[in-house]
Amino acid sequence: MKILVVDDSKQHCQAGLADLTALGHEVIVLQDYSDVAMVVKQQPFDVALIDLLMPAEAMTLGTKGLNHLGEAFAVGYPLAVYLATEGIQVAVATDTNHHNHPASAMMDWLVDKEVNINGHRVCFMRAPMKKIDGTWVKDWPVALGQLIDTVNKS
């Protein structure tokens, strides 16, 4: 399977690359969501595993918008819609406590719901986690399994 992982955490990206590659998948990792459209136009992906919150980037921001540069932004919601319209199954996985950020709290409304965009499954989840060398990282293979299970149930 060809998988795109998008997460601003270096540790989460490294874990995704190592774990998913070890399972035989072809994996491309991005820490910068502004590169997603370009990468998706250049090559097809079967699945995207993405973070919910990432720092706001300059992309198309004007003067007032630049005041938000670097703030945690719920990029996972629009990114999931975009990727699904490009024909990719998507899992949005957050490790942010739903008591600590409103975008993560909103995810409670979507967890375990059937969400299809343009005929492609979008799965919202609390990120499965595992400890590697004393650091908690996202367990991307488990997230992939949850997405595939929900796709197969559809």
Name the pairing type of β-strands 26-30 and 72-73. unpaired
Which of 63-67, 81-85, 127-131, 144-148 is predicted with the least confidence, judged by mean pLDDT? Answer: 63-67
Interior/surface letters 51-80, b for 16+ CB within 10 angstroms, e for the rest:
bbbbebbeeeeeeeeeeeeeebbbbbbebb
pLDDT digits (tens, 9 = 90+) for 22-48: 999 999 999 998 899 999 999 999 999
Structural domains in the chain? 2-153 (3.40.50.2300)
Angle at 28 between CA 36 and CA 8, to 5 degrees: 60
CB atoms under 10 Å from CB of 125, counted, come to 19
Q: What is the pTM of this model?
A: 0.92
CB atoms under 10 Å from CB of 117, counted, come to 15
pLDDT digits (tens, 9 = 90+) for 104-135: 898 889 988 879 999 999 999 999 999 999 99
